Amino acid sequence: MDQKSNIKIWVVLFLFVCFLEFWVSINSYTHDLFVRIDSAIFFMCGKAWMNGMMPYVDFVDSKGPLLWLINGIAYLLSHHNYLGVFWLECLFHTITFFFCYKIGCLFLSDQKMALLGSMLMAIAFFCGAYHYETSAEDFCQPFITGGLFYTLRVISGPQRDKDVKIASFVAGVGFAATLLIKFTIAAMILIFFFTLSAI
């Protein structure tokens, strides 16, 4: 697959995610500004950090500092509402859907089917039974799917020695990032290391 094709996939997925998030995300232009629970706390922690308060001294929550940094950037993008969170959600979900597409390409010979499979993951990611507002898990998804893609590429690919190093690095970055967002998700990523060490 060439670079030009990847760019087209990125653009298609970004437009798809923006359209989807516009209707689904509680932070989008179509939703109320005030009906939030956990995501309001994350946003206030990010706002506090961006305004000079010290994490774990002036404010605290059970989540990690990377989640507050993401929400702090969202606050810098939009001080008075959650639209900054909306745009960061679009970015993070685009990366997630791209890795889902790449996973589909590992097992399907048709790129269009892989793209369709990636888009159908929206049903699982945004199911109303358990996805009401932006959660820490939403920002962990790119790290999880990235580690999953590179681990699966090792299992199914011919250049295992080279790919194991890349996969281990990506899984390590994902582990560190999720540890700094929500430590229980980092524990889940350990399965990638166990799989790579067994090869």
Residue 171 confidence (pLDDT) above 90: yes
User: What Å distances lie between residue 187 and 124, 150, 192, CA to CA?
Assistant: 21, 18, 10
- CA 153 to chain CA centroid, Å, is 19
Residue 31 confidence (pLDDT) above 60: yes
What is the share, in percent, of the chain residues with pLDDT greater than 90? Answer: 66
Q: What is the Cα–Cα distance from 191 to 188, expressed in whole angstroms? A: 6
What is the three-class DSSP state of 55? Answer: strand
Question: In the chain, what is the straight-line distance between the N-terminal and C-terminal CA atoms, in Å?
Answer: 26
Residue 39's pLDDT band (boundaries 50, 70, 90)? confident
Contact 188, 144 (CB under 8 A): yes
Place of tokens 């690919």: 157
Query: What's the pLDDT at 114?
Result: 95
Give the residue ranges of DSSP H helices in the chain. Answer: 3-24, 38-50, 65-77, 83-107, 111-120, 122-125, 136-156, 160-179, 183-197
Phi, psi torsion values for 151, nearest 5 degrees: -65, -45
Query: What's the pLDDT at 27?
Result: 83
Give mean pLDDT, residues 46-56. Answer: 92
Residue 53 confidence (pLDDT) above 90: yes
Between residues 60 and 137, which one has the greater pLDDT? 137
Contact 119, 133 (CB under 8 A): no
